[in-house]
Chains A and B, each alone.
Chain A
């Protein structure tokens, strides 16, 4: 059914009149075929790259400041430069294990435009001498795997991948690899462990910085799908053209997935830095505001790991630095919007439960701490919370991420923001991420937690920590202080007056 007609959008993607760098083909029904790719400027970026020296291509990427789109936002050109000069071979590992709650852009890029990703991989390999590329796709993305397998077979057949690409000395193999369901494998060292056939547990940095000691102990560049998808356009149009979009410190465009209680949720490609959360959430060409009859209560600004933001923060630009200073992160470009119908405790529990389920179990503070956090939040939600639980939650969080945890400002309470990132007692940031919803929700909505703890009676059932019947009725239960203690009268087993005087 490859009609080639431009349809308004692929499922989830919303087309706007904004400049497009990575989603330019999403409207075509057959966007994933080699024919459509070639008809729309495909592999021209590779040809432009091969017309230059490798070093020149690396320099263009460096000049353009292509920021990593996976979450950390580190410039790709600088990351590439971290490979030790004389150690060979070097590998490219593409991080397509997209699983951060709220995030999906890489899946669309792989499903809708697999050749663009392949071309991006080739350009990265050419630029810094990477001789084999592994495309690690999330296990659950069957359609993306199928499209990439087809695209790779086509590209090999047509001479774009493999030996002597386009008649040059440039030769590289791209291997499709896929995972099997583990969020933590999105962390780059865990991804490498998984690619070596092991349990996907993160490695300690140092020494295991992938650019120095990565796959099979060799220098390895791990780049996000969206990051690489920018390279074909960049090579065709140059760094200056790329920098015309976005802000000075965050050039180019970025894909944002806005989900939750907005009128038109979707994946949008917008200019970074110059667009704000407000534009995206309320703009007519974007999400068109909160659904009717409701108001914004809070939003997750950068994936499940990000501390929450609130209505007064919507004017922040979509740029890593100001969002970091505001106490959270731009992260993976995932915005989850929650309106006033949302129960803050329930939302907090749901995000924490995710981290408890996905903890790999390597570091004790995370392995134990995340499940404790989940259990405590569950009992508060069930009406069995204890008054000390709120401090207990914060204490557990402090053991995973010591010190003041990043959190947004709260003018109504006169509280300032604590800037990102959090500190950690763990190898990777998964455990500390579980603290984000707790600190965010507790600081802002402590009264909601307290209300649940103060009113444990639901449907007439009493939780174990509810005030005892005795306390309420005046009847004495077995653990009530004895009459003797209260009245000063001595019972038969009390120490004798003589014993007390002696001690």
Chain B
């Protein structure tokens, strides 16, 4: 059970130290969201939504932005992704890419709307496709990484 919080912290540090750093022109890899999706696919909705919520909350706090936006959307994503557990061939690379692409698009659009509704500075919509594509490409790799790390 301790592995999940450890994964959360490790993922967050990796995001902070490596992936935030490797984001040319803001086209970054959202490693914590990728982990949240994979955790949900492997462990199911319950773990997925909790992981998503807390990973989002930590990032909200550290980003100095709107507290709660990432937590809210990621909890929802964790829940939705968890519904696919055992139902589809989650190990399939193309399924991974396809799913992650749509989840990322959903995530970014949701953030955009939350910010628009609550009068915060909105997310640049133009980049959604590029960010989603970039993250979906590395999704299969993260899946195997998370699977090994979270193996009971």
Q: Do A and B originate from a single complex?
A: no
Chain A positions near chain B (C-beta within 8 angstroms): none
